């Protein structure tokens, strides 16, 4: 993109230093592109610091969340990994209290699901879109940046796997459990086991789920897998790669706080429905 003016009105134009079609909404101000403070495009760390300093003068994005939800936990893991917990305000939507069905929340997300990320007028109602956005805004200068098109595509591909296959199978089973349509899961695990078979194949060729490095796709998939483990133990003999990868994920410094805490709350509810002592 050729810049013709001294001033870049961030609201209206693509932000060139992100190398992406990303608009950071900033109605109130414009940024001098000639000033010495403007980072050179090949300095990702400076770009991130610059973006953070500009964004900090604006309203923080709001995350509508309940950590019993696996997609929410993938966002919490990503926020922890990017070290941006203090850059995002959190608004609890109590799912088991039906807060997601209240009119004020349905006006924000007619799908009445969490997570939702609201960053001024941008409203993202899907965790996978949120993860990509967080990487685009806060990722430059960190290992979670998705600047490389091939890596970006690999990550997106696994996020699609989670969104269209893995999480869907988890959600379907959880729905049946919570609606008390079933109180015994063993006859309902086949589609889930087949999805974990796929994951095992993915992990045969890469160290992490999308590539050889930890990415947000790992957060998305581990949030689902750990939820499913409640009803489907991860067998080391059938899924050795998945088991080893899962253990590595559990060793991440922020894993417990970002995933395990909410997961334990959900587990208690699931086990109560299934009349299982845990």
Ligand X SMILES: N[C@@H](CCC(=O)N[C@@H](CS)C(=O)NCC(=O)O)C(=O)O
Which parts of this chain interact with ligand X (CB under 6 A)?
A: 69-71, 95, 100, 112-115, 126-128, 163, 171
State which residue, 174 or 214, has the beta carbon closest to ligand X. 174
Q: How far apart are CA 231 and CA 240, in angstroms?
A: 18
CB of 64 to ligand X, least distance (A): 9
Q: How far apart are CA 229 and CA 231, in angstroms?
A: 5
CB of 264 to ligand X, least distance (A): 15
State which residue, 122 or 244, has the beta carbon closest to ligand X. 122
CB of 71 to ligand X, least distance (A): 3
Tokens of 260: 């395990």
Cis status, amide bond into 115, omega within 30 of 0? yes
CB of 93 to ligand X, least distance (A): 8
State which residue, 55 or 100, has the beta carbon closest to ligand X. 100
3 close to 33: Cβ distance less than 8 angstroms: yes
Q: What angle do CA 250, 256, 258 make, to 5 degrees?
A: 110
H-assigned helices in 162-233: 167-178, 190-205, 216-228
Residue 234: name the closest of 220, 224, 223, 246 by CA.
246
CB of 116 to ligand X, least distance (A): 8
State which residue, 44 or 71, has the beta carbon closest to ligand X. 71
176 close to 182: Cβ distance less than 8 angstroms: yes
State which residue, 10 or 114, has the beta carbon closest to ligand X. 114
Q: What angle do CA 173, 174, 179 make, to 5 degrees?
A: 105
Residue 26: name the closest of 95, 122, 106 by CA.
122
State which residue, 10 or 72, has the beta carbon closest to ligand X. 72
CB of 171 to ligand X, least distance (A): 6
């Amino acid at each position: 993109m050729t810049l013709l003016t001294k001033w870049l009105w961030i609201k209206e134009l693509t932000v060139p230093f992100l190398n992406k079609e990303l608009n950071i909404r900033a109605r109130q101000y414009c940024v001098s592109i000639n000033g010495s403070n403007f980072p050179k495009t090949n300095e990702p760390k400076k770009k991130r610091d610059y973006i953070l300093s500009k964004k900090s003068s604006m309203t923080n994005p709001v995350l509508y969340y309940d950590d019993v939800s696996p997609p929410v936990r993938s966002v919490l893991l990503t926020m922890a990994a990017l070290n941006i917990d203090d850059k995002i305000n959190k608004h609890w939507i109590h799912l088991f209290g039906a807060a997601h069905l209240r009119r004020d929340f349905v006006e924000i997300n007619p799908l009445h699901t969490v997570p939702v990320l609201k960053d001024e007028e941008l409203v993202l109602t899907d965790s996978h879109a949120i993860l990509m956005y967080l990487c685009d805004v806060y990722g430059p200068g960190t290992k979670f940046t998705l600047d490389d098109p091939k890596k970006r595509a690999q990550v997106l591909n696994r996020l699609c796997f989670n969104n269209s296959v893995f999480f869907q199978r988890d959600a379907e089973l959880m729905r049946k459990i919570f609606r008390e349509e079933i109180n015994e899961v063993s006859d309902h695990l086949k589609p889930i086991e087949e999805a974990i078979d796929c994951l095992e194949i993915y992990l045969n060729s890469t160290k992490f789920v999308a590539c050889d490095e930890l990415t947000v796709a790992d957060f998305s998939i581990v949030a689902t897998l750990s939820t499913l483990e409640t009803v489907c133990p991860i067998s080391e003999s059938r899924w050795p790669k998945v088991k080893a990868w899962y253990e590595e994920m559990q060793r991440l410094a922020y894993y417990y706080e970002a995933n395990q805490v909410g997961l334990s709350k959900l587990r208690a509810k699931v086990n109560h429905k299934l009349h299982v002592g845990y």
